Amino acid sequence: MATIIVPENVSIHEDAENLQKACKGWGTDEKAIINILGHRNAIQRKQIRQAYEELYQEDLIKRLESELSGDLEKAVYRWILDPVDRDAVLANVAIKKAETEFPVIIELSCIYSPEELLAVRRAYQGRYKRSLEEDVAAHTTGDLRKFLVGLVTTYRYDGPEINERLAKSEADILHEAIKDKIFNHEEVIRILTTRSKAQLKASFNRYRDEHGTSITKKLLKDESNVLQKALHAAIRCIDDPKKYYEKVLRNAIKRSGTDEDALTRVIVTRAEKDLKDLKELYHERNSVALDDAVSKEIAGDYKKFLLTLLGKED
Protein backbone atom coordinates (compact mmCIF):
# COMPACT_ATOMS: atom_id res chain seq x y z
CA MET A 1 0.00 0.00 0.00
CA ALA A 2 0.99 3.60 -0.63
CA THR A 3 2.13 5.96 2.13
CA ILE A 4 1.50 9.41 0.65
CA ILE A 5 -1.47 11.26 2.11
CA VAL A 6 -3.50 13.11 -0.54
CA PRO A 7 -6.22 15.60 0.55
CA GLU A 8 -9.74 15.00 -0.71
CA ASN A 9 -10.08 18.43 -2.28
CA VAL A 10 -7.20 19.65 -4.41
CA SER A 11 -7.11 22.74 -6.63
CA ILE A 12 -4.48 22.25 -9.32
CA HIS A 13 -4.42 25.94 -10.26
CA GLU A 14 -4.06 27.00 -6.62
CA ASP A 15 -1.20 24.54 -6.25
CA ALA A 16 0.54 26.03 -9.29
CA GLU A 17 0.04 29.57 -7.98
CA ASN A 18 1.31 28.66 -4.51
CA LEU A 19 4.38 26.97 -5.96
CA GLN A 20 5.13 30.10 -7.97
CA LYS A 21 4.84 32.17 -4.77
CA ALA A 22 7.14 29.72 -2.98
CA CYS A 23 9.79 30.29 -5.65
CA LYS A 24 9.30 34.04 -6.01
CA GLY A 25 11.54 36.63 -4.44
CA TRP A 26 14.82 36.31 -2.60
CA GLY A 27 14.18 33.17 -0.55
CA THR A 28 12.60 29.87 -1.46
CA ASP A 29 9.75 28.58 0.71
CA GLU A 30 10.83 24.93 0.88
CA LYS A 31 8.11 24.11 3.41
CA ALA A 32 5.36 25.19 1.00
CA ILE A 33 6.90 23.16 -1.83
CA ILE A 34 7.08 20.06 0.38
CA ASN A 35 3.53 20.54 1.71
CA ILE A 36 2.11 20.74 -1.81
CA LEU A 37 4.11 18.21 -3.82
CA GLY A 38 4.53 15.73 -0.97
CA HIS A 39 0.75 15.36 -0.80
CA ARG A 40 -0.07 14.97 -4.49
CA ASN A 41 -0.21 11.79 -6.55
CA ALA A 42 1.43 11.26 -9.95
CA ILE A 43 -1.61 12.40 -11.96
CA GLN A 44 -2.00 15.55 -9.85
CA ARG A 45 1.71 16.37 -10.09
CA LYS A 46 1.52 16.14 -13.88
CA GLN A 47 -1.53 18.42 -13.90
CA ILE A 48 0.30 20.90 -11.67
CA ARG A 49 3.27 20.97 -14.06
CA GLN A 50 0.93 21.61 -16.99
CA ALA A 51 -1.02 24.32 -15.13
CA TYR A 52 2.19 26.03 -14.03
CA GLU A 53 3.49 26.17 -17.59
CA GLU A 54 0.17 27.55 -18.86
CA LEU A 55 0.08 30.22 -16.15
CA TYR A 56 3.72 31.31 -16.17
CA GLN A 57 5.18 30.05 -19.50
CA GLU A 58 7.86 28.35 -17.47
CA ASP A 59 8.87 24.74 -16.82
CA LEU A 60 8.16 23.97 -13.16
CA ILE A 61 10.80 21.24 -13.02
CA LYS A 62 13.52 23.62 -14.21
CA ARG A 63 12.34 26.29 -11.78
CA LEU A 64 12.50 23.89 -8.84
CA GLU A 65 15.95 22.71 -9.95
CA SER A 66 17.16 26.30 -9.77
CA GLU A 67 15.48 27.01 -6.42
CA LEU A 68 16.45 23.86 -4.50
CA SER A 69 19.80 22.20 -3.91
CA GLY A 70 21.50 19.09 -2.61
CA ASP A 71 19.60 15.97 -1.63
CA LEU A 72 16.29 17.85 -1.44
CA GLU A 73 16.58 19.02 -5.04
CA LYS A 74 17.44 15.51 -6.22
CA ALA A 75 14.51 13.98 -4.31
CA VAL A 76 11.96 16.57 -5.46
CA TYR A 77 13.18 16.30 -9.06
CA ARG A 78 12.69 12.53 -9.04
CA TRP A 79 9.31 12.86 -7.36
CA ILE A 80 7.80 15.44 -9.71
CA LEU A 81 8.69 13.55 -12.90
CA ASP A 82 6.20 11.13 -14.41
CA PRO A 83 7.04 7.73 -12.85
CA VAL A 84 8.18 6.21 -16.15
CA ASP A 85 10.42 9.22 -16.89
CA ARG A 86 11.81 9.01 -13.37
CA ASP A 87 12.75 5.38 -13.95
CA ALA A 88 14.49 6.35 -17.20
CA VAL A 89 16.49 9.01 -15.34
CA LEU A 90 17.40 6.59 -12.54
CA ALA A 91 18.54 4.07 -15.15
CA ASN A 92 20.67 6.65 -16.95
CA VAL A 93 22.34 7.82 -13.73
CA ALA A 94 23.05 4.21 -12.77
CA ILE A 95 24.41 3.29 -16.21
CA LYS A 96 27.09 5.96 -15.98
CA LYS A 97 28.58 4.02 -13.07
CA ALA A 98 27.17 0.64 -14.00
CA GLU A 99 29.99 -1.42 -12.51
CA THR A 100 28.85 -0.34 -9.04
CA GLU A 101 25.25 0.76 -9.57
CA PHE A 102 23.95 -2.24 -11.53
CA PRO A 103 21.32 -3.03 -8.82
CA VAL A 104 19.22 -0.14 -10.18
CA ILE A 105 19.16 -1.75 -13.64
CA ILE A 106 18.33 -5.10 -12.05
CA GLU A 107 15.45 -3.62 -10.02
CA LEU A 108 13.82 -2.25 -13.16
CA SER A 109 14.36 -5.49 -15.07
CA CYS A 110 13.42 -8.01 -12.40
CA ILE A 111 10.78 -6.30 -10.23
CA TYR A 112 8.79 -4.47 -12.88
CA SER A 113 6.26 -6.28 -15.05
CA PRO A 114 7.16 -6.84 -18.74
CA GLU A 115 4.89 -3.96 -19.76
CA GLU A 116 6.35 -1.63 -17.12
CA LEU A 117 9.90 -2.42 -18.25
CA LEU A 118 8.90 -1.84 -21.88
CA ALA A 119 7.43 1.55 -20.91
CA VAL A 120 10.73 2.51 -19.21
CA ARG A 121 12.66 1.49 -22.32
CA ARG A 122 10.39 3.67 -24.47
CA ALA A 123 10.76 6.61 -22.08
CA TYR A 124 14.53 6.14 -22.07
CA GLN A 125 14.66 6.29 -25.88
CA GLY A 126 12.45 9.39 -25.92
CA ARG A 127 14.58 11.20 -23.35
CA TYR A 128 18.11 10.20 -24.41
CA LYS A 129 17.69 9.31 -28.11
CA ARG A 130 19.44 5.99 -27.45
CA SER A 131 18.16 2.64 -26.32
CA LEU A 132 18.52 1.49 -22.73
CA GLU A 133 20.23 -1.71 -23.87
CA GLU A 134 22.84 0.06 -26.01
CA ASP A 135 23.79 2.31 -23.09
CA VAL A 136 23.99 -0.64 -20.72
CA ALA A 137 26.21 -2.43 -23.24
CA ALA A 138 28.41 0.63 -23.73
CA HIS A 139 29.10 1.01 -20.01
CA THR A 140 29.70 -2.61 -19.04
CA THR A 141 32.00 -5.39 -20.20
CA GLY A 142 32.26 -9.15 -20.30
CA ASP A 143 29.87 -11.37 -18.38
CA LEU A 144 28.19 -8.49 -16.54
CA ARG A 145 27.35 -6.90 -19.90
CA LYS A 146 25.90 -10.15 -21.22
CA PHE A 147 23.75 -10.57 -18.12
CA LEU A 148 22.46 -6.98 -17.83
CA VAL A 149 21.72 -6.61 -21.54
CA GLY A 150 19.84 -9.91 -21.35
CA LEU A 151 17.77 -8.58 -18.45
CA VAL A 152 16.84 -5.21 -19.95
CA THR A 153 15.89 -6.66 -23.34
CA THR A 154 13.73 -9.51 -22.06
CA TYR A 155 9.94 -9.62 -22.25
CA ARG A 156 9.10 -12.38 -19.81
CA TYR A 157 5.89 -14.36 -19.86
CA ASP A 158 3.87 -12.86 -17.00
CA GLY A 159 1.40 -15.66 -16.26
CA PRO A 160 1.15 -17.95 -13.20
CA GLU A 161 1.71 -21.28 -14.96
CA ILE A 162 4.73 -23.35 -13.93
CA ASN A 163 6.35 -26.59 -15.09
CA GLU A 164 7.52 -28.60 -12.06
CA ARG A 165 9.76 -30.89 -14.11
CA LEU A 166 11.46 -27.86 -15.64
CA ALA A 167 11.79 -26.28 -12.17
CA LYS A 168 13.67 -29.36 -10.95
CA SER A 169 16.01 -29.59 -13.94
CA GLU A 170 16.83 -25.87 -13.86
CA ALA A 171 17.31 -25.89 -10.08
CA ASP A 172 19.89 -28.65 -10.69
CA ILE A 173 21.61 -26.56 -13.39
CA LEU A 174 21.79 -23.56 -11.04
CA HIS A 175 23.10 -25.73 -8.19
CA GLU A 176 25.88 -27.26 -10.26
CA ALA A 177 26.98 -23.89 -11.64
CA ILE A 178 27.06 -22.29 -8.19
CA LYS A 179 28.82 -25.30 -6.63
CA ASP A 180 31.51 -25.16 -9.33
CA LYS A 181 31.58 -21.34 -9.26
CA ILE A 182 30.81 -21.14 -12.98
CA PHE A 183 28.70 -18.02 -12.60
CA ASN A 184 28.99 -17.09 -16.28
CA HIS A 185 27.51 -20.41 -17.39
CA GLU A 186 25.36 -19.77 -20.46
CA GLU A 187 22.48 -21.78 -19.02
CA VAL A 188 22.45 -19.74 -15.81
CA ILE A 189 22.21 -16.48 -17.75
CA ARG A 190 19.60 -17.97 -20.10
CA ILE A 191 17.42 -19.16 -17.21
CA LEU A 192 17.54 -15.91 -15.24
CA THR A 193 17.01 -13.63 -18.24
CA THR A 194 14.19 -15.50 -20.00
CA ARG A 195 12.03 -17.53 -17.62
CA SER A 196 8.84 -16.12 -16.14
CA LYS A 197 8.96 -14.98 -12.52
CA ALA A 198 6.55 -17.74 -11.52
CA GLN A 199 8.76 -20.38 -13.15
CA LEU A 200 11.91 -18.95 -11.56
CA LYS A 201 10.32 -18.90 -8.12
CA ALA A 202 9.40 -22.56 -8.59
CA SER A 203 13.03 -23.32 -9.44
CA PHE A 204 14.28 -21.36 -6.41
CA ASN A 205 11.85 -23.25 -4.16
CA ARG A 206 12.97 -26.58 -5.59
CA TYR A 207 16.60 -25.55 -5.02
CA ARG A 208 15.87 -24.84 -1.35
CA ASP A 209 13.90 -28.06 -0.88
CA GLU A 210 16.59 -30.25 -2.41
CA HIS A 211 19.70 -28.56 -1.01
CA GLY A 212 18.51 -27.34 2.37
CA THR A 213 19.40 -23.69 1.84
CA SER A 214 18.27 -20.81 -0.33
CA ILE A 215 20.01 -20.10 -3.60
CA THR A 216 20.77 -16.54 -2.46
CA LYS A 217 22.74 -17.76 0.57
CA LYS A 218 24.89 -19.90 -1.69
CA LEU A 219 25.63 -16.86 -3.83
CA LEU A 220 26.77 -14.71 -0.89
CA LYS A 221 30.17 -16.38 -0.52
CA ASP A 222 32.32 -14.07 -2.67
CA GLU A 223 31.40 -10.39 -2.63
CA SER A 224 34.36 -9.49 -4.88
CA ASN A 225 32.83 -11.21 -7.93
CA VAL A 226 30.72 -8.56 -9.67
CA LEU A 227 28.73 -11.06 -11.75
CA GLN A 228 28.00 -13.12 -8.65
CA LYS A 229 26.69 -10.00 -6.91
CA ALA A 230 24.52 -9.19 -9.93
CA LEU A 231 23.08 -12.73 -10.02
CA HIS A 232 22.38 -12.50 -6.29
CA ALA A 233 20.57 -9.16 -6.67
CA ALA A 234 18.49 -10.41 -9.60
CA ILE A 235 17.39 -13.55 -7.75
CA ARG A 236 16.43 -11.52 -4.66
CA CYS A 237 14.44 -9.05 -6.78
CA ILE A 238 12.54 -11.85 -8.51
CA ASP A 239 12.02 -14.00 -5.43
CA ASP A 240 10.83 -11.36 -2.93
CA PRO A 241 10.94 -7.69 -3.99
CA LYS A 242 9.75 -6.40 -0.60
CA LYS A 243 12.53 -8.16 1.28
CA TYR A 244 14.96 -6.89 -1.33
CA TYR A 245 13.85 -3.26 -0.89
CA GLU A 246 13.86 -3.56 2.90
CA LYS A 247 17.49 -4.60 2.77
CA VAL A 248 18.34 -1.71 0.43
CA LEU A 249 16.80 0.66 2.98
CA ARG A 250 18.59 -1.04 5.88
CA ASN A 251 21.95 -0.86 4.12
CA ALA A 252 21.36 2.77 3.09
CA ILE A 253 20.68 3.79 6.69
CA LYS A 254 23.11 1.59 8.60
CA ARG A 255 26.20 1.92 6.44
CA SER A 256 29.03 4.23 7.46
CA GLY A 257 27.59 7.46 6.08
CA THR A 258 24.00 7.34 4.83
CA ASP A 259 23.50 6.32 1.20
CA GLU A 260 21.11 9.14 0.30
CA ASP A 261 20.78 8.04 -3.33
CA ALA A 262 19.52 4.58 -2.37
CA LEU A 263 17.31 5.96 0.40
CA THR A 264 15.74 8.53 -1.93
CA ARG A 265 15.32 5.99 -4.73
CA VAL A 266 13.35 3.49 -2.68
CA ILE A 267 11.15 6.02 -0.89
CA VAL A 268 10.36 8.06 -4.02
CA THR A 269 9.71 5.06 -6.29
CA ARG A 270 7.66 3.03 -3.78
CA ALA A 271 5.67 5.78 -1.99
CA GLU A 272 2.71 5.32 -4.35
CA LYS A 273 3.04 1.53 -4.52
CA ASP A 274 4.00 -0.55 -1.49
CA LEU A 275 6.01 1.66 0.87
CA LYS A 276 3.57 0.98 3.71
CA ASP A 277 4.36 -2.73 3.41
CA LEU A 278 8.09 -1.94 3.36
CA LYS A 279 7.72 0.15 6.52
CA GLU A 280 6.03 -2.74 8.30
CA LEU A 281 8.70 -5.19 7.16
CA TYR A 282 11.48 -2.78 8.18
CA HIS A 283 9.99 -2.43 11.66
CA GLU A 284 9.58 -6.18 11.97
CA ARG A 285 13.19 -6.88 10.99
CA ASN A 286 14.94 -3.97 12.73
CA SER A 287 12.74 -3.29 15.79
CA VAL A 288 12.66 0.40 14.90
CA ALA A 289 10.21 2.39 12.78
CA LEU A 290 11.54 3.40 9.37
CA ASP A 291 10.38 6.97 10.02
CA ASP A 292 12.52 7.11 13.18
CA ALA A 293 15.52 5.52 11.47
CA VAL A 294 15.33 8.07 8.64
CA SER A 295 14.91 10.96 11.12
CA LYS A 296 18.14 10.04 12.88
CA GLU A 297 20.22 9.81 9.71
CA ILE A 298 19.27 12.90 7.68
CA ALA A 299 18.28 16.46 8.44
CA GLY A 300 16.61 19.65 7.28
CA ASP A 301 14.12 20.00 4.46
CA TYR A 302 15.38 16.80 2.85
CA LYS A 303 14.30 14.93 5.98
CA LYS A 304 10.93 16.71 6.03
CA PHE A 305 10.29 15.76 2.41
CA LEU A 306 11.14 12.07 2.81
CA LEU A 307 9.09 11.85 6.02
CA THR A 308 6.15 13.44 4.16
CA LEU A 309 6.40 10.74 1.48
CA LEU A 310 6.59 8.15 4.27
CA GLY A 311 3.23 9.42 5.49
CA LYS A 312 4.50 10.97 8.72
CA GLU A 313 2.61 14.15 9.56
CA ASP A 314 4.03 16.92 11.75
Q: State the binding site for Ca(2+).
A: 25, 27, 67, 253, 255, 257, 297
> What CA–CA distance (Å, rounded) separates 299 from 282?
20
Question: If 0-12 CB within 10 Å is exposed, 13-18 middle and 19+ buried, where does residue 204 land?
Answer: buried
Residue set of the binding site: 25, 27, 67, 253, 255, 257, 297
